[in-house]
Structure 1
């Protein structure tokens, strides 16, 4: 079994996934707009080129997402996407990449459980936690 975050955007999914591909050194393997699909008839004309489904692969990790039409977009509440790495340098790199034009909620730093931990909301409104645990 594998669990994958599925992020919903306000029309900026394509830009977000291009940004995440850089942050996570991943590859976008799907970027499907509504236009030309059976879903096209369910969204307004101005929404045809917005993303119905996106998929990013970074190593063994998968991040998926789509754009929600304005009347269905609810924003982000009650969750954070958690990134875990064993390398404090990589934790720092990912944190600072995601924080570009975003809002840092807790600067990345050492904590009682982690060599590095930080929290932020990225420029697309997605909350993230970056964690590099201390060895057991």
Structure 2
């Protein structure tokens, strides 16, 4: 079966955003590549050479990846077209992830027990990324 990973585009603050995600999820970056360290970027403005070309942070069995959008690519537009859903292994993990991701952002649905038998909440982080945090209760949690 294929693996589905999430790739986020930012307008110059990828490194800041990914350090934030690292503080929430833990772990270490698999790779951090800057435009200035890659072939074909010699003529790029010096301010763009320090931007992130590719970064990857493992989150469980998946990888959260990102980049800074530079010219000639159009600017990244953050909006409501996508949410990242995180399934926590425990109620404690769900609470910690939700608290971390919503810090400095906006809670759109508080983390609460939902009618379908889960602990669920939604937040937009301080970088404009929408998150859904879920923990499905099993029979021992109820």
- What is the TM-score of this pair, normalised by structure 1? 0.90
What displacement does 1:109 show?
0.7
Q: 1:106 and 2:109 equivalent?
A: yes
Regions of 4+ moved over 6 Å: none
**3-state SS of 1:38 partner:** coil
What displacement does 1:39 show?
4.8
Deviations 1:53-86 (Å, cap 9, x if unpaired)? 0000133221101011276223223110000023
Question: In 2 relative to 1, CA 88–39 (structure 1 residues): closer, same or farther, beyond 3 Å?
Answer: farther
Q: Which runs of 5+ in 2 are unaligned?
A: none
Question: In 2 relative to 1, CA 98–127 (structure 1 residues): closer, same or farther, beyond 3 Å?
Answer: same
Alpha carbons 1:26, 1:59 under 8 Å: kept: no
* Residue equivalent to 2:78: 76
Alpha carbons 1:33, 1:50 under 8 Å: kept: yes
CA RMSD of aligned residues (A): 1.8
Q: Structure 2 CA distance, aligned partners of 1:66 and 1:41?
A: 18
Work out which of the two has the higher radius of gyration on C-alpha atoms and give 1 or 2: 2
- What is the TM-score of this pair, normalised by structure 2? 0.86
